[in-house]
Amino acid sequence: GGLAVSSVLASAFFAAASGSSVATSAAMSRIAVPEMLKHNYDKGLATGTVAASGTLGSLIPPSVLLVLYGVYAQVSVGQLFMAGFLPGLLSALLYILMIVARVRINPALAGDAQVSSNWQEKWQALKGIWPLPVLIAAVLGGIFMGFFSPTEAGAIGTSFAALIALTRGTLTRTAIKQALISTAISTASIFIILIGSLFFTRFLALSGVPVAFSNLILGVSTETWWIIVSVALIYLVLGMFIDSIGLLLLTLPLILPLLQGADINLVWFGIIIIKLLEIGLVTPPIGLNVYVIKGALGKSVELAEVFKGVTWFIVMDLVALLFIILIPALSLYLPQQMF
């Protein structure tokens, strides 16, 4: 299962550069999946690997969802980035262990993928991707060391990426135009959702719904475990039907007063929420990453095959979620060391 394992690692690196689960899935579906299918990988394993690995973009910094959560919950985005790092790596590790175990049990899943290369070929391949780790180190290192804010890091990362494209001769007028249009559409859609969520928050505050919701949950039990279970179930169910950004901004007005009233660490719980949103990206009937994979591959795979392929990855996500809940230090250790 070397190609599948490599796809998980590549997705983690790409996620650290893009900060978007959907962008990671879209890119890797065109790069990794065709290569795995060419070597007769099981279609479910090939597509499921990329669909699930794409969700790493939600946890591994710089994540768009972490930024939105930090802004809305008034939590340090830098702390959230540090908090998401280890859980993101844990998720990737669990994916890899699961892939290796499944292929060991059933070698047919990995087809006839016997790809060998000498050290010269490996070195040439690494030379071609060196700008990516440099870009990641520059952006994240600057944030963690306090040289610039997450917003400034975005501008620096964009400038560095443009410089790389310029030196490679790919920064054409058409590419710039497409990038600007895509950025404008994405930014406008996020701000429309933000504006709507602010109106929604104000109306909820006037109606007293957040207080009633808190009383409903706390009326059963005031124990932290009950609050976690209740919120997790809400996100798992709603995540099947609502996209991650919309769900995050629609539910935070209800969830935050409950968390603040129970004196729950918002950085730690933010990572729990983002992990739950990750799971929603691959669960039917509206697993956005799954539809991205299907759209990129067309008729070469069936939608049902992709959903079937992510099943074991969802199990690993639930295991990772359990670790994050039971071991808060997994999320809080790095922020405490850095801040």
Could you report the per-residue pLDDT of 55-75, keeping only the tens digit for each? 888 888 878 889 889 988 889
User: CA 236 to CA 241: how far, in whole Å?
Assistant: 10
Burial of 286 (0-12, 13-18, 19+ CB in 10 A): middle
pTM score of the predicted model: 0.83
Peptide bond preceding 150 in cis form (omega within 30 of 0) = no
User: CA 291 to CA 106: how far, in whole Å?
Assistant: 27
Q: What are phi and psi of 327, to 5 degrees?
A: -125, 80
Q: Which long-range contacts (CB under 8 A, 24 or more apart) does 32-36 make?
A: 32/3, 32/6, 32/7, 33/293, 33/296, 33/297, 33/301, 34/297, 35/3, 36/3, 36/4, 36/7, 36/111, 36/113
pLDDT in tens, the chain (339 residues): 688 898 898 888 887 777 778 778 888 888 888 888 888 888 899 899 999 998 888 888 878 889 889 988 889 888 898 899 899 999 999 999 999 999 999 988 887 655 555 666 656 656 666 777 777 777 777 777 777 776 777 777 778 878 878 887 777 888 888 878 877 887 787 677 677 767 776 776 677 776 777 777 877 777 888 889 999 998 998 888 888 888 888 888 888 888 888 889 999 999 999 999 999 889 988 888 888 888 878 888 888 888 999 999 999 999 999 999 999 999 999 888 876
Confidence at residue 124, expressed as pLDDT on a 0 to 100 scale: 63
**Displacement of CA 2 from its chain's centroid (Å):** 22
Q: What is the DSSP letter of 285?
A: S
Q: What angle do CA 129, 132, 133 make, to 5 degrees?
A: 105
Alpha helix (H) residue ranges in the chain: 2-18, 21-38, 43-54, 64-73, 77-105, 119-129, 131-144, 150-167, 173-207, 209-220, 224-238, 244-261, 266-280, 288-297, 303-309, 311-326, 329-338
Question: At residue 97, what is the residue type?
Answer: L
Q: What is the DSSP letter of 112?
A: T
Peptide bond preceding 285 in cis form (omega within 30 of 0) = yes
Give the pair of three-digit tokens for residue 208.
């007293």
Confidence at residue 279, expressed as pLDDT on a 0 to 100 scale: 92
Q: Quick one: which of 239, 232, 246, 250 has its CA closest to 285?
A: 239
